[in-house]
Amino acid sequence: MQTPPTPPQPKSINLKNPAKRIVVGIQFLFVAFGATVLVPLLIDVDPSVALFTAGVGTLIFHVITKGKVPVFLGSSFAFIAPIIAATKLYGYAGTLSGLIAVGIVYGVVSAIIKLWGLKFIGKIFPSVVIGPVIMIIGLSLATVGVDMAKTNWPIALSVLITAIAIVTYAKGIIKLIPIFIGIIVGYVISVIAGLVDFSSVHEAAWFVFPQFTTPVFSWGAIIYMIPVAIAPIIEHIGDMYAISGVAGKDFVKKPGLHRTILGDGVATSFAGFLGGPPNTTYSEVTGAIALTKITDPRILRIAAVTAIVFSMVGKISAVLKTIPQAVIGGIMLLLFGMIASIGIKTLIDAKTDFSETRNQVIVSIILTIGIGGAHVGYGNFSLAGIGLASVVGVLLNLILPGKPSVKE
């Protein structure tokens, strides 16, 4: 049986200066901010609630994982369509009980992994499955980055070029915040071009309190939402291998995949109790970590605390919401590609033998289904994109004759 390889130790940066850690931590929130706020807007929820539950959820995750994994949890895109559909049937308060149940499912999966061990995970998710799954995590999001960037290509490209130039040529603290600087440059250009409307900033109160929603128990919503957990759980596993590859530490073994999934689940249930969207490990943050080489989990906890603060300071939240989509899109063009490259690196590090037809079939089918957006459903059950591609990849790995082959 082939198990995922122990990731090599890449060069990482350790920030000892507290002021630098704070600046870099805020930068990581900027990376996650657009998607974290976009999800609640799409499901008609107060964005401040999403920021609050994402921040607290991230801290919960770090407590459960013993503060060892550099992860930020933000609003999950996988639940947008199911939440909208369930809300029409059971109301949003009823749907929240389904989201809480999803977190409990995470806990059950965590217990299974704890009991059966990593050999079981290695058999189900060898590198020939994990590598392409990580690739489609980035590639399937590429259209999101392009759609945001094309709202104003000149601004998006200015952000992208700035970030690339800084990470390539800059030195000192500037080199550590290419995303932050890129966003500032894009934002200033947008202001000069008259593309930023500050009316919402003037109208916003200095201090606000998130508008939480109390969940209402609904068996219908619970049954409706539970199958949706399959896709984000599989995506979580891919993300853990991705961040392990970036940080050069096997987080799947220590603190353990059972802990990371449990942390994700508890954070999701917590969000459900307060009316926030489900949380998930953010791939764009993993891309930012790969870009900056900053793997200190404390930085992500600073981002989490910043999210909580921003959720209660109306003026700051209002300013952040004025950032044009093209600015965020310019950064996403780089970060989502970084995720895909991590998947390629996973296959290379595992010495996957592509002269073997078996490996070619598994990788090609995962990529085709994941990037192509294939979808299957029956009744309330639905599986698409990354989740469907992952399930198909796992089944092919178990069904096709032979074992995952590597080059000696």
CA distance 154 to 297: 34
In this prediction, residues 45-53 reach a mean pLDDT of 88
Kindly tell me if the per-residue pLDDT of 257 is higher than 70: yes
Q: How do residues 328-357 score in pLDDT, each as one tens digit?
A: 888 878 877 877 887 888 888 888 888 899
| Residue that has been written with the tokens 């984000």 in this structure | 232
Please state, for a pLDDT cut of 70, what percent of the chain lies above it: 88
Please state, for a pLDDT cut of 90, what percent of the chain lies above it: 31
* CB contact set of 271 (below 8 Å; sequence gap of 6+): 50, 53, 54, 57, 99, 277, 278, 279
Assign 211 a pLDDT band (cuts: 50, 70, 90): confident
Residues in the chain: 408
Look at residue 172 in the predicted model and tell me its pLDDT. 62
Q: How do residues 134-144 score in pLDDT, each as one tens digit?
A: 788 778 778 87
The larger pLDDT score, comparing residue 30 to residue 314, is at 314
Q: Phi, psi at residue 384, to the nearest 5°? A: -150, 170
In this prediction, residues 214-218 reach a mean pLDDT of 91
Mean pLDDT of the chain: 83
Look at residue 42 in the predicted model and tell me its pLDDT. 63
Q: Which of 21-25, 89-93, 186-190 bottoms out in mean pLDDT, i.e. has the lowest?
A: 21-25
CA distance 180 to 72: 17
Look at residue 224 in the predicted model and tell me its pLDDT. 80
Assign 169 a pLDDT band (cuts: 50, 70, 90): confident
Kindly tell me if the per-residue pLDDT of 4 is higher than 60: no
Q: How do residues 351-374 score in pLDDT, each as one tens digit?
A: 888 889 999 999 999 999 988 878
Look at residue 14 in the predicted model and tell me its pLDDT. 57
Look at residue 301 in the predicted model and tell me its pLDDT. 94
* CB contact set of 268 (below 8 Å; sequence gap of 6+): 57, 76, 99, 100, 102, 103, 106, 278, 279, 280
The larger pLDDT score, comparing residue 402 to residue 384, is at 402
Look at residue 408 in the predicted model and tell me its pLDDT. 42
Kindly tell me if the per-residue pLDDT of 1 is higher than 50: no
